[in-house]
Amino acid sequence: MLKELLLLPLTLLNRYRAINTIKNCTQKRIFLFDIDNTIADTIPSFENYKNVSEAARVSTLAFYIKMHKLICILKKSPNNKIIFFTARGFKSKKATQDWLNSFGFLPKKNELFIVRNAKEKINILQKTQTQNTIYYIDDLAYLEKNGTVVVYKALINCIHKLTEQKKIIYFGLDAISEFIYFQEPC
């Protein structure tokens, strides 16, 4: 409780920055990419690097090749804005920036937002007013200690409601998995 109270000003500032970045975006299309298990294979890092620092764990993440290619293609168009939008501890921001840099993505000040949890991402999207199309790519899932992947069903339902009200196109766990693992015919 005390920790959340102490982090409240940072959380509110981050929320304000994210909402304004999306609202004031001049590009026609905004792509919000989650990191963990969306563009990066995160599960092995939780299993294999339990006793290391967050920075060390983040540095070991493997980027899904197809997601890397997709982001590289999207970045080429001046009509696209790429924003990395992830739920992690605020202390991992530098490690996350370094990780993105190591793959050739140099996020500017308003291209990486770290939020406390998945619900905070939805709160930001609910408060965002823009005429631009937002493509939200996020598995909205987490890994339990027993290794089971659990999806945030209530949050996914909120996203589906938002897609009816706003110009938001959502790609969830199934679409991400199909994209990452689809084998093209020879």
**Alpha-helix residue ranges (DSSP H) falling in 39-168:** 43-48, 54-59, 65-75, 93-102, 118-127, 153-165
Confidence of residue 1 (pLDDT cuts 50, 70, 90): low
pLDDT at position 123: 94
Res 166 pLDDT > 80:
yes
Least confident range from 83-92, 134-143, 167-176: namely 83-92
How much is the pLDDT for 50?
Answer: 73
Mean pLDDT for all residues in the chain: 89
Q: What is the pLDDT of residue 92?
A: 86
The type of residue at 36 is: D
Check residue 186 and give its pLDDT.
Answer: 59
* DSSP assignment letter at 185: P
Q: What is the pTM of this model?
A: 0.91
**Alpha carbon of residue 21 to chain centroid:** 15
What is the structure's pLDDT at 183? 66
